[in-house]
Structures are given as C-alpha cells and as structure tokens.
Amino acid sequence: MKVFFHYSLYGFSNVYLVGNEPGGDALLVDPAEFTENLLNFIESNGYYVRAVLVTHNHIHHVRGLSTLLRIYDARVFSSNAEVRDMPCTVLHDGDVIDLCGMRVEALSVPGHSSDSIVYKVDKLLFTGDALEAGMIGHTLSRYGNALLREGIDRRILSQSEDCLILPGHGPPSTVGAERLYNLGMAEEAAADLLSDRYELFV
C-alpha cells in the first residue's frame, strides 16, 4: 500500500490518495478541490480513482467532488446519503468494507460535525477535522466539545500507538504522540483535575 499527500490551497486542506503498488485502482480521501495539479498527480502515479472517502461534509473538504466524478467512475462513501447533491454509499460506525483491495473501517467521531467519520486503513487513520497534530476539532458548544473528546478517546486514542494519524489540516502524527502531547485532550484532563480539587474544598 502506498499513500500520497496533496495539499489544497482551498481551505488549506489535505487530500490523500491511497493505492497499491505499482498503480491501478485507488481511493481518495476528501477531494478538497480538484485541480489540474491534483489530476496530474493522480495520473502521473498511474492510479484510477475508484472510491472517494468523505470524512465530513464541509465545503473545504468536498468542493472538488463534482469535478472528480466527471473524470473518474468512483463510488462516494460518507455518513450522508448525499454530498453536494451527489449520492453516496452510507457508512455507519463500525462498518468494514473492501475497497481497491484494502480493508477500510469507518469510525464515527461526531462533535466537530454531526457526520464526522474517521477511516482506518491498516494502520492509517484519516481523521478529517476531528483530530489534528496537537489539537482537536472546533466545536460550537460544550456538548459538542465533550462529544468530540469522548469519541477521540474511545475511537482514535484507543488504537495502537504506532497508528499514523493523517488529518484534514496540518502535519501527520501518531496515536502515541497524541496521547502524550495533544493540547486539546490535555485541557480536558486539566479541567477535570481542577474540578475535582474545587469540589474537595467546597
């Protein structure tokens, strides 16, 4: 298995191409913007996109989907029935499918958005905006924040520490590094500690 990274200036988003060597069918994670550079990137590496994995339906991660589907006969997978008026194959938490000769597991981690899915392919975790290197995704409420933290802890940080985290923005990381150094999750631990101490002295 080989993973290629493409940086999209639209939304400063990461796009990932995953395929077997030496070329052939491949899957693409989050087509942020489908440009000539991305097309040349795919073609020059000898791949044909057969599947698209959408981590969540935010425009800076899916804007290029319609263009991609004009070029490649690909199935789109998401937790939504459609993305940008294009039909999708709906995935639920824990679903496991075989795509392009690779085992793909869907892990629901809502909070940043209600439809956020993390995709696990071997020891790769495509986390979208749920988890980035040193950070967690933005949420709109305390409930969403708590839901996201719980999902990250249960579905992502419970994985083997050598699993590679490939986020929607920013550099890659590992589960082991995020357990130790993620500031978003550390804030939760600090808040819990302060809360416990406060209750002791009330």
Q: Is 14 a residue whose pLDDT tops 80? A: yes
pLDDT of residue 27: 97
Work out the average pLDDT over 193-197. 43
Phi, psi of 50 (to 5 degrees): -105, -20
Query: Among all chains, which residue has been given the structure tokens 């800076």?
Result: 60
Q: Is 93 a residue whose pLDDT tops 60? A: yes
> Please, what is the average pLDDT of the chain?
91
Work out the average pLDDT over 127-152. 94
pLDDT tens digits, 57-87: 999 999 999 999 999 999 999 999 999 899 9
Distances (CA, A) of 72 to 6, 46, 119, 141, 171: 18, 13, 21, 39, 28
> Dihedral angle at the C-alpha atoms of 102, 4, 124, 117, nearest 10 degrees?
-90
Q: Is the peptide bond before 87 cis (omega within 30 degrees of 0)?
A: no
Contact residues for 97 (Cβ-Cβ < 8 A; gap 6+) = 77, 91, 103, 104, 106
Q: Is 120 a residue whose pLDDT tops 60? A: yes
pLDDT tens digits, 168-192: 999 999 999 999 999 999 865 544 4
Q: How far apart are CA 122 and CA 104, in angstroms?
A: 8
Q: What is the CA radius of gyration of the chain?
A: 18
Percent of residues, the chain, with pLDDT higher than 70: 92
pLDDT tens digits, 159-169: 999 999 999 99
pLDDT of residue 21: 82
Pairing of strands 75-78, 82-83: unpaired
Distances (CA, A) of 34 to 47, 111, 115: 15, 27, 22
Domain 2-201, CATH number (from 3.40.50.300, 3.60.15.10, 3.40.720.10, 3.30.930.10): 3.60.15.10
DSSP state, 155?
Answer: I
